[in-house]
Amino acid sequence: MKVTNPKLIISAVAKKQYPEGNLPEIAFVGRSNVGKSSLINTLLARNGLAHTSGQPGKTQTLNFYNIDEKVFFVDVPGYGYAKVSKAQREQFGAMVEEYLSSRDQLKGVVSLMDARHEPSEDDKLMYHWLEYYQVPILVVATKADKVAAGRFNAVESRIKKSLNFDKDTSELILFSATKKFGSEEVWQWLEKKADV
């Protein structure tokens, strides 16, 4: 899909603020600082539309981007960020869970993991939780520019093994926002899931 006019519609903290209408939605989840906002910017070829930061915890609301009136991208606050208070973490958790478990428009979730590391306990929990809710999942192993190309197969097998990957519900793609590879494959997946 050629994107001409992506727009941030709302930064929501509660259900009543979610956009109205029936456009399909694709959500982006993952640990704080893993690269969710960078992936969104790369897909849209817009630097800085989704705010990125070297400091974890940048995205703190459910940010709904309307992509040419065809699909919403939803940038979700990252998990596993130690520096927010416990109360705040619980509040984020509840907000994210409510959205992911109850939103009819949600057609798929892009679950980002760091290509350099074994999936964390939180990554595994998120993956299994999404499986439980029967949401189609695309695992994006990001920052793959930090891994030698010769190790890509090993990275893929390690992540799949660690997640107990279900190939009926899930796919996996290696991606880099810096070197800009993988975005076509991510687009293909989300166009199929969102039917755009």
H or E element: which one contains 156? Answer: helix 152-163
Let me know: does 137 contact 131? Beta carbons within 8 Å: yes
- 32 sits near Mg ion (criterion: CB under 5 A): no
What's the min distance (Å) between Cβ of 6 and Mg ion?
Answer: 15
- Give helix 183-194 / helix 36-44 axis angle, nearest 10°: 90
Kindly tell me which of 37 and 183 has the beta carbon lying closer to Mg ion.
Answer: 37
Q: Provide the mask over 120-149, with x wherever binding to ligand GTP is found by CB under 6 A and - wherever it is not.
A: ----------------------xx-xx---
Which positions from 161 through 180 interact with ligand GTP, judged by CB under 6 A? Answer: 176-178
Please, what is the end-to-end C-alpha distance for the chain in angstroms? 8
Residue 172 CA: distances (Å) to CA of 117, 159, 193: 15, 9, 14
Sign of the Cα pseudo-torsion (10, 13, 17, 23, in order): positive
58 part of the interface to Mg ion, by CB under 5 A: yes
Tokens encoding 72: 């919403």
Let me know if 145 is exposed, middle or buried by CB neighbors in 10 A (0-12, 13-18, 19+). middle
Exactly one of 78, 80, 108, 119 binds ligand GTP (CB under 6 A); that residue is 78
Task: Determine, following the binding rule CB under 5 A, whether residue 143 of this chain makes contact with Mg ion.
Answer: no
Q: How far apart are alpha carbons 44 and 183 in whole angstroms?
A: 10
Stretch that binds ligand GTP, among 50-58, 61-69, 85-93, 166-174 (CB under 6 A): 50-58
Residue 180 CB, nearest approach to ligand GTP (Å): 9
Q: Choose, by CB under 6 A, the member of 36, 66, 110, 113 that binds ligand GTP.
A: 36
Q: Which sign does the torsion angle of CA 110, 114, 119, 122 carry? A: negative
183 is a site residue for ligand GTP (CB under 6 A): no
21 binds ligand GTP (CB under 6 A): no
Residues that bind Mg ion (CB under 5 A): 36-37, 58-59
Residues that bind ligand GTP (CB under 6 A): 30, 32-38, 52-54, 56-59, 78, 142-143, 145-146, 176-178
